Amino acid sequence: MEKTLSIIKPDGVQKGVIGEVIKRFENAGIKIVAMKMIHLTKEKAKNFYAVHKDKPFFDSLTTFMSSGPVVAMVLAGENVIEKNRELMGATNPADAAPGTIRKDFASDVEKNIVHGSDSPQTAATEIAFFFNELEICE
Ligand code: UDP
Ligand code: MG
């Protein structure tokens, strides 16, 4: 069973769409095997998004990601990395397909409601960032 990390970002928690996002995963047959709410520090947000450290949006993104609590989840299922990315939609909600999470709930390219790992390697690293083995219910 493949696993991926999903995060409902501070805007998703603030807008009250935690349940809506989770419902989409469950309706798609994806299993949630770990979940926690956590308020990242700016430092932790910078570590999590280190791959983007040289991008012009890095400071704003990490300020946003540490602006309020997030819900981190481990999703499991066949092909779940790609399936989750499809449910999320394009990074910029303006480009996201109808019926995707970002199209339906996101306000702009930064505050785009959800994060999802983009490869098996990043999934492994990102899951370990939030969860230890005992916290994942296989
Ligand atoms: N982001 C941004 N401005 C941009 C591109 C990305 O603020 O021009 C933010 C946005 O929150 C995005 C995150 O940085 O989700 C990570 O960017 P990435 O390209 O990895 O997009 P994702 O994998 O989340 O679709
Ligand atoms: Mg990404």
Query: Which of the following is catalytic: 3, 83, 102, 115?
Result: 115
Q: What is the pLDDT of residues 54-65, one digit of tens each?
A: 999 999 999 999
Nearest ligand to the C-alpha atom of residue 91: 1
What is d(CA 94, CA 107) in angstroms, rounded to the nearest whole number? 9
Q: Which two tokens stand for residue 123?
A: 């999934």
Would residue 52 show up in a list of annotated catalytic residues for this protein?
no
Segment 22-41 shows an average pLDDT of 98
Work out which ligand 1 atom sits closest to the CA atom of 90: 25
Q: Which of 60, 107, 109 to mutate to test the pocket of ligand 1 (most atoms within 8 A of CB)?
A: 109
Q: What is the pLDDT of residues 67-99, one digit of tens each?
A: 999 999 999 999 999 999 999 999 999 999 999
Q: Where are the alpha helices (DSSP H) in 1-138?
A: 10-15, 18-27, 42-48, 58-65, 80-88, 101-105, 120-130
Q: Is the pTM of this model over 0.85?
A: yes
Q: What is the pLDDT of residue 138?
A: 84
